[in-house]
Amino acid sequence: MNAAEINVLEEVELENPIFIEALPGIGHVGKLAADHMIDELGATKFAEIFSPTFPPQVLVKDEGVIENMLNELYYLKDVGEDNLDLIILVGNTQALSPEGQYLVCKDILEYVTGFGIDRIFTLGGMATGQPVENPKVFGAATNDANIELLREAGIEIRSNDGGIVGASGLFLGLGVRQGIHGSCLMGETPGYFIDAESAEGILNKLSLLLNFEINVDKLEERAEETREMIAKAQQMEQDLINKANAGNADDLRYIG
């Protein structure tokens, strides 16, 4: 049984697309960068991904309309001077458990490899725990050739200081087992707020690596929208925890 239920909205044909992952993470740097890229470049959503490994909740949006916890796939054709095709993975959540992360990432990667993806970029944040002036973009990659490309783009190479957790690490690890190489771009961020400046840094480096142009003027506006969405999700998660704790307290009183 697959962990991810992929609902295809549009059948698309792409030519050796590059796969870009940017799910919520530290400072929501990657998500913010990819959401802005989708809006600015006019990407089209072609699939929605649901999974029982996602948090057991829905988000309540304006006017009381709910939004499921889901991931989404978008595509772009003929991007930049090299006329690249792109598949972009975004969403409002990742799987809750380590096992769920492996299962969902495996199912999504299996689906997108059907389009003939030949490279992977994962986008995320690298927590500093404190404010940073002029945040740098750090990188890691699956092979020496990609490391060299990162260096040429002025990206600091992250070396021997821990791992890359969640989807940003797993997609690279699972991809290289299938001979699909790639890189992770990580923007420095305090990690405790939605960081538009760090997202801008990642976008600037990604556009350099893939040879396309993008306007980042509206990035702060997108950051505010993301802050509101995350605040709602966190409040709902806290409500679930509070209810669970209250239930445990009631049980203890009954036993006593």
Per-10-residue mean pLDDT for the chain, 256 residues long?
90 97 93 94 98 94 91 98 97 95 97 97 93 89 97 93 91 97 95 86 96 87 68 75 72 38
- The CATH number that applies at residue 55 is 3.40.50.10900
Yes or no: say if 236 and 69 are a contact pair by the CB < 8 Å rule: no
- What is the model's pLDDT at position 251? 45
Q: Which long-range contacts (CB under 8 A, 24 or more apart) does 211-220 make?
A: 211/80, 211/81, 211/82, 211/84, 212/41, 212/79, 212/80, 212/81, 212/84, 213/80, 214/36, 214/37, 214/40, 214/41, 215/40, 216/36, 218/36, 218/39, 218/40, 219/32, 219/36, 220/196
- What is the model's pLDDT at position 252? 42
> How many CA atoms, within 13 angstroms, populate the side-chain half-sphere of residue 128?
17
Rounded to 5°, angle at Cα 15 from 14 and 19: 75
Alpha-carbon distance values, 15 to 39, 77, 180, 186 (Å):
22, 9, 15, 27
Domain that holds residue 72: 5-255
**13 membership: H or E segment, kind and range:** none
- What is the model's pLDDT at position 256? 32
Structurally, the chain folds into a number of domains equal to 1
Amino acid at the residue 143: N
Among the listed residues 158, 139, 159, the one whose alpha carbon sits nearest the alpha carbon of residue 150: 139
- What is the model's pLDDT at position 1? 55
**pTM of the prediction?**
0.86
Q: Which residue(s) pair with 75 in the sheet?
A: 44, 87
- Residues 6+ positions from 216 with CB-CB distance below 8 Å: 36, 200, 203, 204
pLDDT (tens digit per residue) in 120-177: 999 999 998 887 788 899 999 999 999 999 999 999 999 877 789 999 999 999 999 9
Give me the numbers of helices (H) and strands (E) for the chain, helices first please.
Answer: 6, 11
Secondary structure of residue 181 in the 3-state scheme: coil
